[in-house]
Amino acid sequence: MRAEQAIAINHQSGLSEVSAGVMVEDLVARRSDADDLPQTVRTGKINMSRSKFKADIAGGSLKLPESRIVAGLLLDDVSAEDWRRAIEDENVLQKRSPGTAARQASLLRARLQTMTPELWHLVRDGSKETATHALLAAAIKHSPLFGEFLNRVVRERFRTFQSDLPRKLWNEYVEHLQNEDADMPVWNNATTNKLGDSVFQILKESGFITDTRTYRLQPVQIAPAVLSYLRDTAQHDVIERLQVTL
| pLDDT band (50, 70, 90) for residue 10 | very low
- For the cut 60, the answer to whether the pLDDT of residue 51 exceeds it is yes
| pLDDT band (50, 70, 90) for residue 137 | very high
Mean pLDDT of 89-117: 95
Per-residue b or e along 38-70, where b marks 16 or more CB atoms closer than 10 Å to that residue's CB: bebbeeeeebeeebebbbbbbbbbbbeebbbbb
Percent of the chain at pLDDT above 90? 72
Beta bridge partners of residue 164, listed in sequence order: 216
| pLDDT band (50, 70, 90) for residue 246 | confident
| pLDDT band (50, 70, 90) for residue 194 | very high
pLDDT at 19: 38
Phi-psi domain of 151 (left: phi exceeds 0; alpha: psi -120 through 50; beta: other): alpha
Helix intervals (H) in 49-154: 64-75, 80-84, 98-112, 117-125, 128-142, 144-149
The residue among 191, 200, 202, 192 whose CA lies nearest residue 28 is 191
Mean pLDDT of 95-110: 94
pLDDT at 147: 96
pLDDT at 49: 59
pLDDT at 228: 98
